[in-house]
Structure formats: C-alpha cells, structure tokens
Amino acid sequence: MTYNSTLLRRPGAVAAGGLDAGVAAHYGDPFREQRLLAGTSGAVQGQGLAAVVDLSHRGVVTVSGADRLSWLTTLSSQQLTGLVPGTSTELLLLSIHGRIEYDARVLDDGESTWLIVEAAEAAPLAAWLTGMKFMLRVEVADVSENWAVLGSVHPVPELRGRLCWQDPWPQIAPGGFAYTAVPEESHPGLDRSWFEYLIPLAELDTAVGERPLAGAWAAEALRIAAWRPRLGAETDEKTIPHELDLLRTAVHLAKGCYKGQETVARVHNLGHPPRRLVFLQLDGSQHTLPAAGSPVLSGDRQVGTVTSVGQHYEMGPIALAVIKRNVDPAAELTVCDADEKYVALQEIIVAPDAGQVIGRQSGFLRAPR
C-alpha cells in the first residue's frame, strides 16, 4: 500500500520521490527550510523555532524479549549486549561476503529494541529476523504502520520524554575505526547533530504543532555535507562497510563472530576497500543538478557514480559519490548527466590507503578504542 503522510496536507507541500516517497520534498522554500532546520536563520537565533523533518515513511521494527540484545549481537556487526536504555547506536546486517544488506538505527528502552530503517527495509528485515529466532526469547514486529519518525538537527523541547535516537555520526564508537583522511576535530559531520523522534502515527500532526517543517531536500543537503552515508543511496549490491567509513559507527571490530565478519576483518587488516566515498563540490554555473546515478569521469574514463545530490544553502551544489580506490585524490573529476557536464572538486572522505592496518607503523587512521 502506498504511504502518504498527513503532513503532505500542509500548505506548500510538494511530494518527494525515490527513497523519500510519501513525505514532502519541500514546503515551498527549500533554502529557508534548510536554514531553519540547521538553526542558522535569524528567526531561529532570535525567538523563532527550528524546523523538524517529516520522516514518517521510515520503517520501524521492534525486537522484544529477554534475549534481544545478545541475539542481535550475534547476528549483526555491532556489540549490543549490555546496551544501556536510551543509548543510540547503529548496526549492519551483512551477507556472507560482507556486503551490506540492512543498516539500522538502534535504540533500546529497557523492554524492546527499536530499529529505525529505510521504508523498503522494514518488512524484509522483520521477516529475516523472525526466521532467525529459533528457541530464543525474542519477538519481532514490523510496527511501521503505527509509528512515525520526526527528524531534527536540534533537540525539540516539546518532544522531551519521547523515544529519541541520536545519530552517533561522526564519533568513533567503541570498537570502531575511522577511515577518513581529515583530523577528527575537522570532520564536517561535527557541524550536524541529528535526532530522530519516534511518534505514534496518529499523533504526528499534533506532535509537529506550530513548529516549522523542512522537507526531505533540506535534510538530504545537510546529510551530504556531513558525509553521512545512507542505505539505498550510497550502497549497492556490492557495498562493504569500509567503502563508506561505516566502521566508524556501525562495526565493532573486537566483538564475536557474525555473518560477514571474515570479509570485514580481512579487508581491514590485510587489504584495502576496492572503492571509496568522496564528497564533490559541483560547478554551480549551470543552475541545474545531475541526477543520482550519473557517471563520474576522470578524463574520458568512468571511475565511479554519483550517489546523492543536494543544494546546500551555503556551499551550493554538492554530492556524494563512490569511486574507485586508486583514483588520484588530486584529479579533477567530471559528472555527466545526459548532455550536461559538471566539473567536480573532489574532497577525500575514505582515504585511498584505508585498510591494511596490520603492520601499519604510522598514519592518520584512528585505531579502535
């Protein structure tokens, strides 16, 4: 059944497509919405309210029962045993070859573990988890039809007391490892805190109240600027966590066995990821944007693909792309979309020499803690 948020009835709402189908792309003024969401407009700095984003199309899966945290630990890339209620984290479920199949935001309330996922993930994730229960004391439910998500850059006082997942990005989680080339104190993700509130769907309109709304375009632009990868955008059927710097928040390198661990350990310790995530500053003189999926060229050779594109209120047109590891970091790249070509300035996210940690005498990569 096609989902359409009740907030699409708000004045000026224009429906989004793709991963964000069912909610608004914007409400008539994308740049103002982005400033309100980031909390940088004069209105917000004065007496106005920061905006929230309708993410009610997101999937929500719950896992309850006494064995839930230890069970999810055995299945996933993350160490969840002993997770303190209210603590936010992230997990990956991988294929036997270490490729990303599910990426879930994780929050436990002391009785149930809440998994917030992309809309298309919820039903198959719940079905897969149900098939893995065996004799353990766990119960899995897809509760997406009853729960909505509201996103914000800043804490929302009116929603205090609600279940809230706070994005750990870009902090290095316990057992994690950073693949970036920049010093941690310079990571652009530090400029974007991110909160996702769980709201009963029937209360969505009331929960928003008079607070201004920002569309998915605004949220995506801030995500891209923070170098934050998204399942279904930056991922394909071959993606391994190392390529997107997801060892930072979603992989515990010192935990016990799980499906895909052999690939994770082998690439991290002995090899290099075959591709790497980059940030692109696009030439804005054409007043258009390339589509996600557009090829990225170095000279006449295709070296990668644009995965996400946005218009940032300060930086202009920006994008994330996944390119081959050995592309020269100093190379000027070109994005091609139909008859349009966009010059792209490459900024390294995942370092070309990331991985091969065993025997590394020095370097900028941050070790597990």
The pLDDT tens digits for 206-227 are: 999 999 999 999 999 999 999 9
Looking at the predicted structure, is the pLDDT value of residue 45 above 70? Answer: no
Quick one: pLDDT at residue 41? 53
Looking at the predicted structure, is the pLDDT value of residue 1 above 90? Answer: no
SS3 242: helix
User: What's the rounded Cα separation, in Å, for the pair 117 and 104?
Assistant: 5
Quick one: pLDDT at residue 285? 87
What does the DSSP assignment read for 3-55?
---GGGGSTT-EE--GGGTTSEEESS-HHHHHHHHHT-SHHHHTT----EEE-
Amino acid at 174: P
Q: From the CB of residue 213, how many other CB atoms can be counted at a distance below 10 Å?
A: 23
Residue 322: closest CA among 258, 255, 238, 251: 238
Residue 121: closest CA among 139, 100, 107: 100
Q: Which two tokens stand for residue 203?
A: 């209360």
pTM: 0.95
- Contact (CB, 8 A) for 90 and 106: yes
**DSSP tag of 74:** H
Quick one: pLDDT at residue 284? 87
**40: confidence class by pLDDT, cuts 50, 70, 90:** confident
The string over 295-329, giving b where at least 16 C-beta atoms fall within 10 Å of a residue's C-beta and e elsewhere, is bbbbeeeebbbbbbbbbbbeeebbbbbbbebebee
The model's pLDDT over 325-367, given as tens digits with 9 standing for 90+, comes to: 999 999 999 999 988 999 999 999 999 999 999 976 544 444 4
The model's pLDDT over 183-193, given as tens digits with 9 standing for 90+, comes to: 999 999 999 99
Compute the average pLDDT of residues 20-39: 97
Looking at the predicted structure, is the pLDDT value of residue 124 above 90? Answer: yes
* Sheet order of strands, 147-152 included: 164-166, 195-200, 147-152, 52-54, 213-214
The model's pLDDT over 296-330, given as tens digits with 9 standing for 90+, comes to: 999 999 999 999 999 999 999 999 999 999 999 99
Q: Which two tokens stand for residue 187?
A: 């990571």
Q: From the CB of residue 209, how many other CB atoms can be counted at a distance below 10 Å?
A: 11
Radius of gyration of the chain (CA): 20
Q: Which two tokens stand for residue 50?
A: 């920061």
Residue 219: closest CA among 338, 57, 337: 57
CATH number for the region 59-143+232-269 comes to: 3.30.70.1400
The string over 62-74, giving b where at least 16 C-beta atoms fall within 10 Å of a residue's C-beta and e elsewhere, is bbbbeebbebbbb
Residue 121: closest CA among 133, 105, 132: 105
Which position has the token pair 């090829």? 295
Domain boundaries, the chain: 6-55+147-166+180-225, 59-143+232-269, 274-348
* Percent with pLDDT over 70 in the chain: 95
Which position has the token pair 């020095």? 362
The model's pLDDT over 232-253, given as tens digits with 9 standing for 90+, comes to: 999 999 999 999 999 999 999 9
**81: confidence class by pLDDT, cuts 50, 70, 90:** very high
Q: Is the bond preceding residue 30 a cis peptide, omega within 30 degrees? A: no
Compute the average pLDDT of residues 291-300: 97
Looking at the predicted structure, is the pLDDT value of residue 46 above 70? Answer: no
**DSSP tag of 250:** S
User: What's the rounded Cα separation, in Å, for the pair 50 and 131?
Assistant: 42
Do 59-143+232-269 and 274-348 have matching folds? no
The model's pLDDT over 135-183, given as tens digits with 9 standing for 90+, comes to: 899 999 999 999 999 999 999 999 999 999 999 999 999 999 999 989 9
**DSSP tag of 291:** P
Q: Which residues pair with 139 in a beta bridge?
A: 64
Fold of domain 274-348: Elongation Factor Tu (Ef-tu); domain 3 (2.40.30)
Quick one: pLDDT at residue 47? 47
Looking at the predicted structure, is the pLDDT value of residue 25 above 50? Answer: yes
SS3 126: helix
Angle value at C-alpha 337, between 333 and 339, nearest 5 degrees: 110
SS3 117: strand
**DSSP tag of 349:** S
The conformational region for residue 210 under phi > 0 = left, psi -120 to 50 = alpha, else beta, is alpha
Looking at the predicted structure, is the pLDDT value of residue 121 above 60? Answer: yes
Element (H, E) at 223: helix 216-225
Quick one: pLDDT at residue 150? 98
